[in-house]
Amino acid sequence: MTQLSIPTTELYRLLVESVKDYAIFALDPNGYVVSWNPGAQRFKGYTAPEIIGKHFSVFYPPEDLAVNKPQIELEIAAEVGRLEDEGWRVRKDGTQFWANVIITALRGADGELVGFAKVTRDLTQRRAAELQAVEDARRIAAEEALRRAAEMRSTELADLLDRTQRQAEEIERRRNEADVANRTKTEFLAAMSHELRTPLNAIAGYVQLLLLGVRGPLTDEQSGDLTRIQRSQQHLLSLINDILNFSRLEAGAVTYNLGPVPLGTVLDAAAGMLGPQATAKRITFALEPCPPTVRALADASKFEQILLNLVSNAVKFTQPGGHVSIRCVVADHHVLTCVQDNGPGIPADRLADIFEPFVQLDRTLGNPREGVGLGLAISRDLARGMQGDLTVESTLGKGSTFTVSLKRVTAATDAESQAPSDGR
């Protein structure tokens, strides 16, 4: 066996001083530095003269000093013989590094504590690598979770898109079916109206011939019967005309010949036709004069149809002794035609219903009325077709006011409509 030619103590000194990857130094029993190797100087930045004699607590950060960690570690090492710890340590320049520390209690032959051996290893890079690995793992896990969530969301969106597409197709199918059904209904109503009007017109013609005595003289009873037949025929023809007009409106088959219409002329014509009807029912009928300069953008025949329907309704729903009036009002760029009565009025929660097709609102406490409930629906559609509107205000027990609003035509608007186009 080869024998070393140097003493053991010298060998130990050379061993400690040659190791530069570890800080190896000794502490006295109170924690003061008594030895210092080159590795310790490299790790901590202190030279031997700078650090020997100072307490080893200078290597600990403030948070460790606050809890008296250096003294506690010495006490544990003294009690159990050895302590190993990892944590932040402080260099001379104030920077910190992550250290693995082993403190070993040194005892003499009699067992008395003579100091501590302290070995420190710099694990900053390893800790950084471990933390980076943990961070990478977290990032990868988060990315994987996001990827799975995105895939799931993509699947959900695809399912939603598929359901939406199927719903859209179903809605389109039902819309097409509704269009077909609506066209079929419209065509049926038009055909039915036409087929019914032909015999009704024949009935009217033959009744007229009989009333004129073409077939011979009539008794008073026969004349009365024929008159009742004539009224029934006219009423039925009116209902059929309403249905035909409504079907044409629904089908978009109504055309409008819009132009400046003097309101006074149409109002006078309506009053002339319906005034006798009001007088016969002992209803006061009043037409407020409308200046001849007041003109509206309208189709004259359709505006007259609306007005006749409104006045006829007012007379029908107003009790004997009541009154019905018509007046025109100029309001900014519109002209308003108001038909007012003092009939029973309309409940506030039913005002919108009266413009719905086939709705008959009982304004006389349950008494049935003639008609199919299309007059107001047709009138509002006609008003809107002329770029206007039909509205109603009513107080239960006091009466109603129906207002047709149409665009006003003035000399300025006439000139503007007739001005030559600049091509733009």
Spatial CA neighbour of 377 closest among 352, 412, 408, 401: 352
Residue type, 399: G
For residues 72 and 55, what is the distance between their CA atoms, to the nearest angstrom?
14
Cα end-to-end distance, the chain, whole Å? 116
What are the tens digits of pLDDT across the range 140-170?
A: 888 888 888 888 888 888 888 889 889 989 9
**Token pair 């050379």 in the structure block, residue:** 14
Instruction: Point out the domain boundary residue: 215, 230, 250.
Output: 250
| Residue 317: burial class (beta carbons within 10 Å; 0-12, 13-18, 19+) | buried
Spatial CA neighbour of 52 closest among 40, 64, 69, 65: 40
Residue 146, domain CATH: 1.10.287
For residues 87 and 52, what is the distance between their CA atoms, to the nearest angstrom?
23
The verdict on 301 and 398 lying in the same domain is: yes
The verdict on 300 and 317 lying in the same domain is: yes
In a domain, 162, yes or no: yes
The verdict on 101 and 140 lying in the same domain is: no
Residue type, 331: A
What are the tens digits of pLDDT across the range 44-56?
A: 999 999 999 999 9
Query: Computed over its alpha carbons, how large is the radius of gyration of the chain?
Result: 54
Spatial CA neighbour of 338 closest among 266, 408, 405, 262: 405
What are the tens digits of pLDDT across the range 120-146?
A: 998 888 888 888 888 888 888 888 888
Spatial CA neighbour of 35 closest among 49, 14, 21: 49
Instruction: State the pLDDT at residue 36.
Output: 92
Residue-by-residue DSSP string for 119-138: EEEE-HHHHHHHHHHHHHHH
* Percent above pLDDT 90 for the chain: 31
Domain hosting 13: range is: 8-122
The torsion of the CA quartet 5, 7, 13, 16, rounded to 10 degrees, works out to 60
The verdict on 225 and 170 lying in the same domain is: yes
Mean pLDDT of 352-381: 66
The verdict on 267 and 396 lying in the same domain is: yes
The verdict on 150 and 172 lying in the same domain is: yes
Task: Please list, residue by residue across 17-27, b when 16 or more beta carbons sit within 10 angstroms of its beta carbon and e when fewer do.
Answer: eeeeebbbbbb
Instruction: Point out the domain boundary residue: 122, 153, 168.
Output: 122
Number of domains within the chain: 3
For residues 339 and 314, what is the distance between their CA atoms, to the nearest angstrom?
8
Residue 336, domain CATH: 3.30.565.10
In a domain, 1, yes or no: no
> pTM of the predicted model, to two decimals?
0.49
Instruction: State the pLDDT at residue 250.
Output: 66
Residue 415 has pLDDT above 50, yes or no: no
Mean pLDDT of 397-419: 76
The verdict on 218 and 315 lying in the same domain is: no
The angle subtended at Cα 359 by Cα 357 and Cα 362, nearest 5°, is: 155
Instruction: State the pLDDT at residue 418.
Output: 46
Q: Residue 319: which residues within 8 A CB-CB, separation 6 or more?
A: 343, 344
Residue 187 has pLDDT above 60, yes or no: yes
For residues 30 and 74, what is the distance between their CA atoms, to the nearest angstrom?
8
